[in-house]
Every structure is written in C-alpha cells, then in structure tokens.
Amino acid sequence: MSANLLLTIEFKAAASPSDDCFEVTLRNISARELNVEVEPAFYEGKVVVALEGNSPVECYDKEYFRRMMCATWGDPVVTMKPSAVLVWKLRIADLECNSDELLRVRELKQVSAYTTIERLAIVPPWTIYPYGCGFKRGLAPTR
C-alpha cells in the first residue's frame, strides 16, 4: 500500500461454515504514529475472489455497500501507533457480491483473493481535519 501501511487478507475457516470469514488487516509499518482517516467498524473496500474456472467475483461488506448506494458520510480519524493494527472480519455470509452465484464457502480454501481499501487517508499531523461536527487541529511539526 505504501511505506507506511500494509493491507493483508486471509481466509479463516471456522467450526461452522456460516462463520467462515476473510480477515483483513491494516498495519502501521512505519516508525511513527499515523493519523488515519478510516472506518474501524466496517471494511470500506472490496474483496475480489477468483474461484478456479470462474470469473472473479467482487464482494463488499453489506454496510459499506448500503452506504455506497444511498449515503454520504465521513470517516473518523484513528491514531495508529507504530505496529498498530486494525482488523476487519468479513463473514462470507454477510458479503454483498456482484454475482448471482453464492460463494461456495468450502471452496474458498483453494481460491485466489485480494482486497483493495477504497476509503482511507493518512492525515498529516499539522493539518486541520473534520472531526465530528467541528474541526480538530493537529499538532504542527516540530523541528
């Protein structure tokens, strides 16, 4: 993603197939604290799954998909210390996909998948950025 953030995705099988999920992790790999404008409650990106012999299927978290279709919103600014992580668990059963075919959960162990986060910004610490109903001033860089 950058020299500051690393985005990874991993399939996690559960005891019950209905609880199988993708785990998406955003990690601060820089040596400094970062202010990141991102929604920690749900994943604002897409997961592309390629089952062998089929066309790739794009999937979205249902809440993000709903907001894309009918809302305008702002994301909070999250402070991530070095090595800090944000983790989103995307249950397969809760994904909204661009295909009429349901994802066959047990086949996911043999697929290729990648993810892109679509709403994220690293906020410089010395800027003014929206925060709730007002604005919050970041700290000026020190020399």
Predicted confidence at residue 29, as pLDDT, reads 94
In sequence order, the β-bridge partners of residue 7 are 26
pTM given for the model: 0.75
Size of the chain, expressed as the number of residues it contains: 143
Read off the pLDDT of each residue in 3-25 and give the average, rounded to a whole number: 87
Domain boundaries, the chain: 5-137
Read off the pLDDT of each residue in 75-91 and give the average, rounded to a whole number: 91
Nearest Cα neighbor of 65 from 27, 113, 119 is: 119
pLDDT in tens, 113-136: 778 777 777 777 655 555 544 444
Please give the Cα distance from 123 to 87 (Å, whole number): 20
**Residue 74: partners with Cβ closer than 8 Å, 6 or more residues away:** 130
Please give the Cα distance from 100 to 1 (Å, whole number): 31
pLDDT in tens, 60-72: 988 888 888 887 8
pLDDT band at residue 58, thresholds of 50, 70 and 90? Answer: confident
Per the structure block, which two tokens stand in for 6? 């690393």
